[in-house]
Amino acid sequence: MIRLGVNSVLFKEFDFRTAARSIARAGYDGVELAAIQGMCEHLDLSRWQEQRDELLRIAEENGLSLLSMEVATLNEERLTTALEAAAGLGIPVVNVGPGGKSGVEEDVAASIAQLAKMSRKAEALGVTLCVKAHVGNAIYNTPTTLRAMAEIDSPAFGIDMDPSHIHRSGENAEEALPAVLSRVKHIHIRDCQGRAQGPGPIELQACGRGDIDLFGYCKAMVDGGYDGPVVLEVIGAKPEHSLADVATVAAESYGYLNACLKQLNAR
């Protein structure tokens, strides 16, 4: 059964206990802990040992699994700490962005080299390191993703396949997924309208609101045998967004994704 989760960054204006309660009430199986410096740090990597028991207790009280962690950066010191924290918390996947700029060969090579190096560290700790193609970054589409897959042989390296970034890079995500699915270990998911660089306001990132063929994407996922986590990642929540605003995005997306996956016999 494919498990559904929410990246806690959607609830960045609220504490983790509040986020977990809302995520559980919406029906999700788990949560991705946000450890994104400068954006949302429900997991503060500088004191993760102090937070460990409380985070585990909150997740357990709400019946949620800790599906993954998003740290975003490839900075070696911070990412090493993130991998250690994941191992200590029993989190199986750490998600990062590729960094660099699209179309710059030196950036592509540097990103892949750093991912390879950090994947070896992840492997030693029993954790999987995943990267996603990101609009504007060095790895941004299917060809650059395939290059990383070809050049990184660690079993602890995986792809976090986010359809919104692939869509905004000019591809159709449901058609692109099969090419990389053999190394996909995690899926971030959200919707968007159009192919602009940014994902748009949070309400239009709710699954089913935009232009991505997310049912087709889910079908490609299931047809290809994927059985890892599918995690809603909605960014851009602002102080003026109420708890009801962000919880509605989570609940609406759960209803859409759960219905799609049930129709596909994956839940």
The SS3 of residue 66 is strand
Provide the pLDDT for residue 126. Answer: 98
% of the chain exceeding 70 in pLDDT: 100
Domain boundaries, the chain: 3-264
Cα angle 200-203-204, degrees, rounded to a multiple of 5: 50
Question: Distance between CA 102 and CA 262 in Å, rounded?
Answer: 37
Tokens of 75: 């900075």
Q: Are 133 and 140 in contact (CB under 8 A)?
A: yes
Residue among 223, 226, 193 at smallest CA distance from 208: 193
Q: Which CATH number fits domain 3-264: 3.20.20.150, 3.40.50.2300, 3.30.450.20, 3.40.50.150?
A: 3.20.20.150
The SS3 of residue 248 is helix
Provide the pLDDT for residue 197. Answer: 76
Q: In Å, what is the CA distance from 15 to each residue of 30, 124, 243?
A: 16, 32, 11
Q: Are 211 and 194 in contact (CB under 8 A)?
A: yes
Q: What is the pLDDT of residues 21-62, one digit of tens each?
A: 999 999 999 999 999 999 999 999 999 999 999 999 999 999
pLDDT exceeds cutoff 80 at 202:
yes
Q: What is the pLDDT of residues 137-183, one digit of tens each?
A: 999 999 999 999 999 999 999 999 999 999 999 999 999 999 999 99
Question: Distance between CA 13 and CA 248 in Å, rounded?
Answer: 15
Tokens of 98: 């590729």
Q: What is the CA radius of gyration of the chain?
A: 17
Show Cβ contacts of residue 77 under 8 Å, excluding neighbours closer than 6 positions. Answer: none
Angle between helices 243-263 and 16-25 (to 10 degrees): 40
Show Cβ contacts of residue 95 under 8 Å, excluding neighbours closer than 6 positions. Answer: 32, 68, 69, 70, 71, 72, 130, 131, 132, 160, 186, 188
Provide the pLDDT for residue 96. Answer: 98
The SS3 of residue 27 is coil
Q: What is the pLDDT of residues 51-105, one digit of tens each?
A: 999 999 999 999 999 999 999 999 999 999 999 999 999 999 999 999 999 999 9
Residue among 66, 19, 9 at smallest CA distance from 40: 9
Residue with tokens 């919406």: 26
For residue 27, the Cα-to-chain-centroid distance in whole angstroms is 18
